[in-house]
Amino acid sequence: MFDEHFKSFFEKVIFQSTGVETEEIDFSFVAGGCINNTVKLSCKAGVFFLKWNESAPAGMFEVEAKGLKLLQDTGAVRVPEIINTGTIEGKDYLLLEFLESGRRATNYSETLGRELAALHRHSSSYFGLNHDNYIGRLPQKNESKQSWADFFVECRLKPQVGLAAYNSLIANDTVLRFEAFYAKLPTLFPEERPSLLHGDLWSGNVHTGPDGHAWLIDPAVYFGHREMDLAFTQLFGGFDASFYSAYHESSPLQPGWKERTDLCNLYPLMVHVNLFGTSYLPAIERTLSRYI
């Protein structure tokens, strides 16, 4: 009965997305993060990757698809083809092409470094985006700002700090330390034009495709300071040294970028506090202590 329930849902997704009716459908659940359900579907219409959620925030998959399209349209990075988004039986879903896992090409990391640099050369007249989106299941505010410091404070740090305080995940003393830190931010980052960012660029969101190269998934895109993406890559182990070398050769980074990594990662660490709990707070407190 369990399998039949899912099979019916999958068949409806395929029909809604492709117009192909299918009674023969194979499926296997695959790893896809800790927020959504994810499955590989194989049928006469093709092979697909499906993610769905019965309690997804409104529009979550639609804006994820928009983010993938933004990345795809640059021609700078590889992303899976978007098939459809929709809602069936109260389940919001996103259907993508399925990427088989391949063996890394010999120039894997260097190529990814150059591709990310090319992505970051796509710019805007403002920091932000023309719509809000999500990071994980948390809303991500993208109100346009002319200053990176203003955007980082108002659209990144304050919403996460406020949410954590509301849920009693951080003490009032930490909130006050953040308030003192905000005043110093304008002097801490070098001026740069806004860059189109992946926005959630940790190793789990980089998939080695059948061609042996890196494909980017699960974006949280916006136009921001490019050091945010580079810092994010170092949160959980970091990428190969050749990735950073190739990036720097293609688009040289400003002096001190490595020292600013912890500043950038205050945002994803606060996101993790709100999603997963207080074990991420010590790293946040250490960074704040360097500046206040």
Q: What residues are labeled active site?
A: 200
Contacts 24+ apart (CB under 8 A), 252-258: 253/227, 254/190, 254/192, 256/190, 257/227, 257/230
User: What DSSP letter does each residue of 32-60 carry, written as one string?
Assistant: --SSSEEEEEEETTEEEEEEEETTPPTTH
Residue 31 DSSP SS3: coil
User: What DSSP letter does each residue of 58-100 carry, written as one string?
Assistant: TTHHHHHHHHHHHHHHHTSSB-PPEEEEEEETTEEEEEEE---
Pairing mode, strands 222-224 and 214-216 = unpaired
